[in-house]
Amino acid sequence: MKLLLINIKELLQVREISPRYISGKEMNILPTLSNAWLLFNGTQIEDYGTMNLPPDGNFAQIIDCTGRFVLPAWCDSHTHIVYAGNREQEFVDRINGLTYLEIAEKGGGILNSAKKLQETSEKELYDQSAARLEEVLYLGTGAIEIKSGYGLTPEAEMKMLRVAKKLAKKYPVAIKTTFLGAHALPTEFKNNKKGYLDLVCNEMIPKVVQEDLAHFIDVFCEEGYFSVEDTERILSEGKKFGLIPKIHVNQFNAIGGVEAGVRHQALSVDHLELLTDEDLNALKNSETMPVALPGCSYFLSIPYTPGRRIIDAGLPLALATDFNPGSSPSGNMNFVVATACIKMKLTPEEAINAATINGAYAMGLSDSHGSITKGKAASVIITEEIPSYGYLPYAFGSNCIDQVILNGRVL
Ligand code: NIG
Ligand code: FE
């Protein structure tokens, strides 16, 4: 079935040949086509051009985009969208002065979510997660990574990943899954970290891989959670089973995890609210994508990832939501893009590149997502009538999206 978009005011992120990712100064360039058309054939982009040379043929549906911009759907490379319940009580505790780490030490935080998730049936977990996923699809997300890590037992971790896999079957969105068994130390293992690491390595990883439930392996590398040494053990074990590393690192402390990630050829290192010169140097000459999560900085009132410094050092940067109940209960990529501009001083061009093509790379989807390129997924956002694309991050609290098309399906 052919679907044609005509009279597009400006088609954004048009790449004849798509690079895998964009770095440094190049991030400030967003290739566009004015007065354009875009043709989908089923689930893929077939062709595009300008309205003075319209395509001929028969089209099942034509959408007139007069006054509107079209861009690739957002690529959200870091979420924990499968979770049970919420944590608004901790939100109030933080307003009253407790820190994220103090709440965690009281048994709140990740362990609180894990308890809820263990007690929630797979069906109920699916329903709660599907509602969140539907919300973010209408906000323009067309590819998303989903982590486990609120199970912390073999059964509950597998339950989370099965739910993510079911979501991937049901919805027209690309979903990549990540096993994050080492997200926190369960209470039963409070004095036996080695025991839990053994469980993750010897039981959970093989089971997850046997059921084909994950593409990536992740660790929360942080003081009070998992050390660099723990992280390296888990990444090495995951790699033996074909899982590609992606890590949570430098959220509250810089403990050398970035270098470890690069050493293990991590696809991405995420958070980086704290970043040393050594970390920055480690990222140079690597294929590891730094990922900033400005929604988390906003919600926890912690520093923003120094995105300007990262890009000015010639490196790439991706943006993601970190959608989760504790540190970022929002999966709105439009807000993330706006916040990256407002608080991290990215230009709209840099932020859009970071949230599309670089996000796609950070979840191994650069061949199929993140740009308007022939053969890539027919997954785009059609904006409302707006004056310029810079208006998207500028009007940070408004929903400027008129329609979302995912895999050729108009939502
Ligand atoms: O990416 N930092 C570790 N994990 C999540 C938050 C987990 C939680 O608080 O529930 C994050 O911010
Ligand atoms: Fe996270």
Domain annotation covers residue 202: yes
Note whether 215 and 81 are same-domain residues.
Answer: yes
pLDDT digits (tens, 9 = 90+) for 201-227: 999 999 999 999 999 999 999 999 999
Note whether 130 and 9 are same-domain residues.
Answer: no
> Which atom in ligand 1 lies closest to the alpha carbon of residue 220?
3
Give me the pLDDT at residue 285, please: 87
Mutate to test the pocket of ligand 1, among 76, 80, 99, 273 (most ligand atoms within 8 A of CB): 80
Arithmetic mean of pLDDT, 134-150:
98
Query: Residue 282 sits in a domain of what CATH number?
Result: 3.20.20.140
Confidence of residue 101 (pLDDT cuts 50, 70, 90): confident
Q: How far apart are CA 217 and CA 391, in angstroms?
A: 37
Place of tokens 């890009």: 311
Domain annotation covers residue 366: no
Ligand at shortest distance from the CA of 222: 1
Note whether 131 and 179 are same-domain residues.
Answer: yes
Q: Is the CB of 225 under 6 A from ligand 1?
A: no
Task: Write out the two tokens for 249.
Answer: 């690192």
Instruction: Say how many domains are in the chain.
Output: 2
Arithmetic mean of pLDDT, 375-403:
98
The model carries a pTM of 0.97
CA distances from 68 to 35, 209, 365, 399 (A): 10, 44, 27, 14
Arithmetic mean of pLDDT, 67-86:
98
Phi, psi of 24 (to 5 degrees): 50, -135
Place of tokens 């009279």: 7
Note whether 68 and 85 are same-domain residues.
Answer: no
Three state DSSP letters for the chain: CEEEEEEEEEEECECCCCCCCCEHHHHHCCCEEEEEEEEEECCEEEEEEECCCCCCCCCCEEEECCCEEEEECEEECCCCCCCCCCCHHHHHHHHCCCCHHHHHHCCCCHHHHHHHHHCCCHHHHHHHHHHHHHHHHHCCEEEEEEECCCCCCHHHHHHHHHHHHHHHHHCCCEEEEEEEEECCCCHHHCCCHHHHHHHHHHHHHHHHHHCCCCCEEEEEECCCCECHHHHHHHHHHHHHCCCEEEEEECCCCCCCHHHHHHHCCCCEEEECCCCCHHHHHHHCCCCCEEEECHHHHHHHCCCCCCHHHHHHCCCECEECCCCECCCECCCCHHHHHHHHHHHHCCCHHHHHHHHCHHHHHCCCCCCCCCCECCCCECCEEEEEECCCCCHHHHCCCCCCEEEEEECCEEC
Q: How far apart are CA 260 and CA 228, in angstroms?
A: 7
Arithmetic mean of pLDDT, 269-291:
97
Phi, psi of 75 (to 5 degrees): -115, 105
Note whether 50 and 174 are same-domain residues.
Answer: no
The per-residue b/e assignment along 41-69, b for 16 or more CB within 10 angstroms, e otherwise, is beebbbebeeeeeeeeeebeeebebeebb
Confidence of residue 280 (pLDDT cuts 50, 70, 90): very high
How many angstroms is it from 58 CA to the middle of ligand 2?
45
Domain annotation covers residue 179: yes
Domain annotation covers residue 176: yes
Q: Is the CB of 322 under 6 A from ligand 1?
A: yes
Cβ proximity of 208 and 157 under 8 Å: yes
Q: How far apart are CA 348 and CA 188, in angstroms?
A: 47
Q: Is the CB of 326 under 6 A from ligand 1?
A: yes
Confidence of residue 271 (pLDDT cuts 50, 70, 90): very high
Instruction: Single out the residue in 338, 361, 384 at which a domain terminates.
Output: 361
Q: How far apart are CA 183 and CA 252, in angstroms?
A: 15
Domain annotation covers residue 86: yes
Note whether 336 and 375 are same-domain residues.
Answer: no
How many angstroms is it from 142 CA to the middle of ligand 1?
23
> Which atom in ligand 1 lies closest to the alpha carbon of residue 300?
12
Q: Is the CB of 325 under 6 A from ligand 1?
A: yes
Give the rounded distance of the alpha carbon of 314 from its chain centre. 22
Note whether 136 and 52 are same-domain residues.
Answer: no
- Structural domain for 208, as ranges: 75-361
Give me the pLDDT at residue 104, please: 86
Confidence of residue 379 (pLDDT cuts 50, 70, 90): very high
Query: Residue 46 sits in a domain of what CATH number?
Result: 2.30.40.10
Note whether 31 and 91 are same-domain residues.
Answer: no
Beta sheet of 141-147, edge-to-edge order? 74-76, 141-147, 174-182, 216-221, 244-249, 268-271, 289-292, 318-319
Give me the pLDDT at residue 174, please: 98
Give me the pLDDT at residue 106, please: 82
Domain annotation covers residue 18: yes
Q: How far apart are CA 3 and CA 141, in angstroms?
A: 20
Note whether 31 and 92 are same-domain residues.
Answer: no
Note whether 313 and 266 are same-domain residues.
Answer: yes
Note whether 116 and 184 are same-domain residues.
Answer: yes
Instruction: Single out the residue in 322, 337, 361 at which a domain terminates.
Output: 361
Confidence of residue 100 (pLDDT cuts 50, 70, 90): confident
Domain annotation covers residue 54: yes
Mutate to test the pocket of ligand 1, among 78, 110, 253, 272 (most ligand atoms within 8 A of CB): 110
Confidence of residue 107 (pLDDT cuts 50, 70, 90): confident
Ligand at shortest distance from the CA of 145: 2
pLDDT digits (tens, 9 = 90+) for 307-319: 999 999 999 999 9
Note whether 304 and 404 are same-domain residues.
Answer: no
